[in-house]
Chains A and B, each alone.
Chain A
Amino acid sequence: MSAVRLRNLTLGYERRPAVHHLEGAFAEGRLSAVVGPNGSGKSTLLKGVAGAIRPLSGQIELSGLKPRDIAYLPQDHGISKTFPMTLEALVSLGLWNQRGMFGAITLKDRARIADAFAAVGLTGFEHRGVDQVSGGQLQRALFARVLVQDARLILLDEPFAALDARTTADLVSLIQRWPGEGRTVVMVLHDLDMVRKTCGDTLLLAREAVAWGETESTLRPENLLKARRLSEAWAEHAHVCHHDDAPAPEHGDPHASAHSHP
Chain B
Amino acid sequence: MTCTEFLAMLDDMIDDSVVAAETRAEVEQHLHKCGHCEVVLNTTRKTIEIYRSHQIYELPYEVNERLHTAIMARCKAKRC
Do A and B belong to a common assembly? Answer: no
